[in-house]
Structure 1
């Protein structure tokens, strides 16, 4: 197992309610079972983890043909249309990738993008155009060719339907040309490397031209599996395609289900009820790793934050109030009370597990500064009242009570309001914007953090649920979007951290590790961006 010591202080919502819910619930899931379960020999804290493979498997021998692999996703699949889903590992991305595949794939071990369904993707010297080459003979499950026209038609459909990643795509991609049947040229409005990440997720899941007939949508893709049965919120059964471009899969079928809760999911893996799973609950994840299950550990950044409403008339509209909150709430204390000290607390955007980590220090915890700032805001008329929106679940309540105590200790008058449930809370925060402060998550991808930073921080961004607006941050985001090298990106991200320390766009409380995990007799699973798993080469021994 990969472990390391800590160095210093560790420091998307979507355009639809369903996507907002998946992101919010992902943040809560890191805490919901944080103070229970786990084996006695399990790692004591999430800080023992680093990003990468654990319990690596040896040579499995010759692949075995046949069988059904059952996968337990984080949330139940409710749609098979990529334009209606965030297409992340926590929100149906693995299931959709089995049907549609992706043009590109992010290799999180090598930290680079590789062609998956595509043959190649090459940039021009100025990074203002990217040329995609397709493999000869690739077909959709209805027998029609996956050619350049099909690719551009699918992406145009994705953008026209205002899918989760469509706004940034439309802002960055000026036009697409199809000089021949196997070539697509993307012309950009400014240099941008994020197109690789986009083509590894929703926009890169190509829908067949025959899929949309009027209002009727049929899931027809070029992936390794095709639809056999779909019972929303229950199960999705897929059958292997003998004509898949990469060769017929070894598995006969995939059965994709959702089990509510990280511990029940882990138990199902241990008892053989499922063969692979996505787990985003700390102790069950640590327990599975300690028990020797092969897994890929991912630690997306900004996995545990609080959104603070900055609309006029709300307490968070005053930056001094946001700063006071940040100085008052100690992530270490919050972690102790909610996660029994086993989480990954911190105030920085990128902790030192991230390839994007920088040396800019966080805002820090300082109750005296918090009180001074709050007193200044009160002197200008603020009454000190703030409401923390939560819901009645043990860990959520523990978090709300801990935050309330720390805020009140510096002079806030904090009340807790309980929503009727997670769905109501999500609606209040992401749709109605009727809240003062509440737990959330952004889950920045290691592959490319720009997209979600851009959509959640930029003035008027599609996922900017707080109303944050700062011209200097907007300029930095534009600069980040045109940065080409990792060195240049890290430099801008450090500047964004410095600016965040001043303007406090969120309350940053830490990270929540998640794992792609599978049984010891399962082989050939591939990881991609944002927790997505690919099963085209998977098999069971």
Structure 2
């Protein structure tokens, strides 16, 4: 599973969605200053000149959801919509990747970390009028756990990715059971301790949905249909507890209309309608923003940021919650088994220059395989210095002078951590040529052989990235290195098995402070003793809002909510 190759709009593996449009996701969540191309954690604050407020906010979406049931989704374009209608036990604090109470007001683990007690918010109703309570929570988790073989092997992938197996399946499951203590108290029991819990409950896929609607809509009846899946009617008419509810999906006009939930338990949405207008082409989205037919869109091209701002729009730069890296396959190119060779390649890369010339303002050189907002980040690690002469000396010492390196990059794609793969590749390949490495450049389309090529070990080295799914060290380095099969091919090395074991032990540490210290030590070890790949940079993606729009807070996880947005007519 490589879910977080998706960007959070993206984090992580673009999914082909309805109408043949490509939706990109995850993953790959500080409120700060007014949006400018140099800020992070920005909020839209413009007032639009004091005109009358509009009752509609229109967002230019890059793709169409295939379904509206978030449990069966894995792409950011679906989650962008369902997030406005659905809520989970845990939410995400605006402008951060930190969990906060949502439908659960508090939670507490048992001493052994295997049971979690959640105190639930009272007075909450689903949009069909049904009451949210502990029974509803257990119904939802049992619904997720009891998938048929088709769904378990296909669209229920976030459960498989985080929880493992399903009821009656051959794979072990993190989820064990759910207990109702009273209407406002529920206990989730686990089979093992993991640092991913309970933060993984911030994922949109684990949103709470109306048990009655799920049951009446035969929601788990997923069937195979050609190369894809056939979903029950419920999947296009979900029922949640959020500030909006689904009005209609007009596939002919490529628009999704949500309307305000007037019975919402929290602050009511400030606009009566929230419309997602599906516009696959980024330049067309910009034109529609400038024409006033949409109010915002995601991932504006970094080269357009200044012009967009000069035109009176706001570019809201998200805190970077991603990593661009160079992966290695020592099994294919045996010279890469020598740590001196991997270090020499790292020393040869002028990453500071690459960041300044190829990435948007706010991008930084990476020191390890996670951003600095994640607990376990080692602040003592410094960027490996650009040292071509030192790199040449290491190659000579390793007997690898004049070595050939097949170095791949993807085409037909842009990612927040990698806006222009070809130019980034060219810059890094030139650095390698400067120390005498003969670079054999290879490129394939992202979904046309590149990802499969990485998985199948076809390249010596390659560029890839990751946008975090949630705020957990295990979601970064645990996902990268703790499986027997991973993109870095660490299983081909004896130390790879040791690293896998060390990461699994770290994930199972119950005490949070001890676990953080353990991950800090592991980050140091990965960078100084193992170096299975090369972390390159962190790059902040952005979204743009038009004139007269306020109330949008940029999220590192691209998990923006739109219920407090105000649109003022000029």
Structure 2 match to 1:85 = 73
- Work out which of the residue numbers 41, 47, 52 in structure 1 matches 2:41: 52
Partner of 1:439: 463
Deviations 1:156-204 (A, max 9, x none): 4545535235343346544332223443212345555643432221343
Residue in structure 1 matched with residue 99 of structure 2 by the alignment? 113
- TM-aligned CA distance change 1:316 to 1:148, over 3 Å: farther
The one of 206, 214, 221 aligned to 1:214 = 221
- Tell me, yes or no, if structure 1 residue 99 matches structure 2 residue 109: no
Aligned 8 A contact 2:549 2:566 in 1? yes
Residue aligned with 2:448, SS: helix
- What is the number of residues matched between the two proteins? 503
Instruction: Report the counterpart of residue 366 of structure 1 in structure 2.
Output: 387
Between stretches 164-173 and 285-294, larger displacement belongs to 285-294
Q: In 1, Cα distance between the equivalents of 2:379 and 2:174?
A: 27
Kindly indicate whether residue 248 of structure 2 is the aligned counterpart of residue 241 of structure 1: no
- Alpha-carbon distance, 1:136 to partner: 3.7
Relative to structure 1, the CA distance from residue 108 to residue 321 in structure 2 (aligned partners, 3 Å threshold; closer, same or farther) is: farther
Alpha-carbon distance in 2 for matches of 1:285, 1:446? 27
The 2-side partners of 1:233 and 1:450 are apart by: 42
Would you say the 8 A contact 2:41–2:319 is kept in 1?
no
Q: 2:160 maps to which residue?
A: 166
Task: Note the C-alpha offset of 1:228.
Answer: 1.0
* Matching of residues 277-292 of structure 1 within 5 Å: 277-279=297-299, 281-285=301-305, 288=308
Structure 1 segment 438-477 matched on structure 2, within 5 A? 438-444=462-468, 447-460=471-484, 464-469=486-491, 470=496, 471-472=498-499, 474-476=501-503
CA separation in 2, counterparts of 1:233 and 1:125?
54
User: TM-score, structure 1 length as denominator?
Assistant: 0.76
Q: Could you say which residue in structure 2 is the equivalent of 1:225?
A: 245
Which of 429, 442, 449 is 1:417 aligned to? 442
Deviations 1:343-394 (A, max 9, x none): 62413135668784612123333323433444465569x9634242333789
Contact kept? 2:126, 2:132, Cα under 8 Å: yes
How do 1:184-203 residues align onto structure 2 when only pairs under 5 Å count?
184-189=186-191, 192=194, 194-203=196-205
Superposition pairs of residues 15-30 of structure 1, within 5 angstroms: 23=12
2:32 is matched with none
**TM-score normalised according to structure 2 size:** 0.73
The equivalences for 1:328-367 within 5 A come to 328-336=348-356, 338-339=358-359, 342=361, 344-349=363-368, 356=377, 358-367=379-388
Residue matched to 1:67: 55
Asked whether the 8 Å contact 1:133–1:183 carries over to 2, the reply is: yes
What secondary structure is seen at the aligned counterpart in 2 of 1:99? coil
- Partner Cα separation in structure 1 for residue 513 and residue 307 of structure 2: 34
Identify which of 6, 13, 16 aligns with 2:2: 13
CA distance in 1, matches of 2:534, 2:442: 18
Cα distance between partner residues in 2 of 1:418 and 1:111: 33
Cα distance in 1 for residues equivalent to 2:393 and 2:42? 46
Superposed CA RMSD in Å reads 4.3
**Structure 1 Cα separation of the partners of residues 128 and 209 of structure 2:** 11
Which consecutive residues of structure 1, in runs of 5 or more, have no partner in the other structure?
1-11, 27-41
Stretches of structure 2 lacking an aligned partner (at least 5 in a row):
16-34, 165-172, 223-230, 414-418
1:36 match: none
Q: Which of 204, 208, 212 is residue 206 of structure 2 equivalent to?
A: 204
